[in-house]
Structure 1
Amino acid sequence: MTGASAGLGIDDHGVFGHCSSSSSMSLDVSTSAERWAILAAMLNVLLILGGYLMGSVPTGFLAGRAWGVDVRRVGSGNIGMANVLRAAGKWPAVITLIGDMLKGFVPVLAARLLTENEWVVAVVALAAVLGHCWPVFLKFKGGKAVATGAGTTIALAPVVGLVLFAVWWGIVLVTRYTSLGAIITMTAGPVAFLLTGQPWPYVLYTLVGSSLVIWRHRNNARALLKGTERKIGEKAREGNARAG
């Protein structure tokens, strides 16, 4: 110790050693925060990519193939539940419906469990719908995302999603038109999410996602107006392309 520092009770490393230690701790905290931010960003990207890839799994195509039918060459050529029912029968259609719903439900549920960022969860939901509509595994030629969209809404808001799903099926059972049920339910979806006080990212997702699904049904809407839309269960012949 020097005389001055000895008098104050400070050794040669006292003041400056304390400052150096504080700076080091601050730097460590900053570096740790940056690392966590990078990891969180990577997780978000993986969740969104996973949502798209899961949405891209062509459940209807695979179910049809298992029953020896290429649903893309029958009826409307759509890989959704309604056309699978016409082309391959009841059980492939049931598998398609459940599988397509899970494609939306699972990635959104995973996102909700792994992140508190509601915007990321909403983007994951949209990614699953986009994957179904434009699947990488079928050269970006997919379905209309009604069941996949239903799966996402159930994962986002279980009660509201299940009610909307029940409304869809109720309309289908009464009218026998899956497309009419889809258009009405997708129109009601954003309103239901808004009125029940769901988070704004979820409301915005339902607005964008529902608009996309309705747009994918534009040919069905024209067929409904003309009276040429197929009813659910109506058989279709190979190469006979009509809306449905």
Structure 2
Amino acid sequence: MGDGAVTLGAVAGFVLAYLLGSIDFAVLVARSRGEDIYHMGSGNPGAANVLRNLGWRAALPVMLGDMAKGAAAAALGAALGGSEAAGWAAGFAAVIGHCFPIWHRFRGGKGVATAFGAALWLQPLVGLALVAIWAGLLAATKVSSIGSLAAMAALLPILVAIDTPAAELVWAGAIVGLVVVRHAANIRGLLFGGVRTVRSDTRPP
């Protein structure tokens, strides 16, 4: 089977990955604490907003859960589709699900942790590099979006450098594109002011 071949298994993996990606751990963790993440801070149902408003003990399971669903989606897609390209496609589907979750009225986050999870499963060293870029810049700037955008900007060059097949690059590029589009407001904030740091609105853990 060609790495870029479209099969019934790959399509099934894509659909299942979307449904898996639609599970929003920020919503669930906040709800378990009697809070509505949509009405807190930036209103974004993601780990950074949870960190700012509910502390790191709430943010950590959100981050890990979002990464786990990205990894599980990629693993499922690769298994059903029979190729690494199908795994990347399923990773993209999981990011779509995170951004536009059917279980949460299509009001989702920005897909960064889910993308990290998919990359960690498909290319562990690449995934670790992305997480390191994000974590390093977050520590240095206290602005999660700077680390997120830098990590996404690094993904395709790293994959090209290790001779990743074109079919996989297409789906990885789709992940990057969607995550960047979801950061449009953050990019405007970085350019014109008004960006939130992880210390903004932060409650004690």
Same-fold call, TM cutoff 0.5: yes
Deviations 1:191-223 (A, max 9, x none): 111111122222112211111111111111111
Match of 1:211 in 2: 177
Q: Distance in 1 between matches of 2:169 and 2:101?
A: 25
Q: Would you say 1:202 and 2:174 are equivalent positions?
A: no
1:96-129 superposed Cα distances (whole Å, 9 cap, x missing partner): 0000001100121233344423332222111101
Give the AA of the match of 2:10. Answer: N
Cα distance in structure 2, aligned partners of 1:121 and 1:90: 30
Which residue matches 1:50?
16
C-alpha distance in 2, partners of 1:182/1:126?
16
Write the deviation string for residues 83-102 of structure 1: whole angstroms up to 9, x where unpaired. 01122221110010000001
Residue 119 of structure 1 pairs with residue 90 of structure 2: no
Kindly report which structure 2 residues correspond to 1:1-244, keeping only aligned pairs within 5 A, or say none. Answer: 41-235=7-201
Q: Distance in 2 between matches of 1:94 and 1:117?
A: 31
Larger Cα-atom Rg: 1
Identity %: 35
Cα separation, 2, equivalents of 1:97 and 1:199 = 29
**Secondary structure of residue in 2 paired with 1:219:** helix
Indicate if the aligned counterparts of 1:75 and 1:236 stay in contact, CA closer than 8 A.
no
TM-score using structure 2 length:
0.90
Alpha-carbon separation, structure 2, partners of 1:124 and 1:236? 34
SS, match of residue 143 in structure 1: coil
Shift of 1:150: 0.6
1:180 partner letter: I
The 1-side partners of 2:159 and 2:150 are apart by: 15
RMSD, aligned α-carbons: 1.7
CA–CA distance in structure 2, aligned partners of residues 113 and 212 of structure 1: 24
What's the CA shift for 1:148? 0.4
Count of equivalent residues: 198
- The CA deviation string for residues 27-73 of structure 1, in whole angstroms up to 9 with x for no partner, is xxxxxxxxxxxxx9443332111100110001100001111110100
- Provide the rounded CA distance (Å) in 1 between the counterparts of 2:161 and 2:7: 32
CA distance in 1, matches of 2:45, 2:76: 25
Gaps of 5+ in 1: 1-39, 238-244
CA distance in 2, matches of 1:44, 1:231: 39
Q: Which runs of 5+ in 2 are unaligned?
A: 1-5
Give runs of ≥4 in structure 1 deviating > 6 Å: none
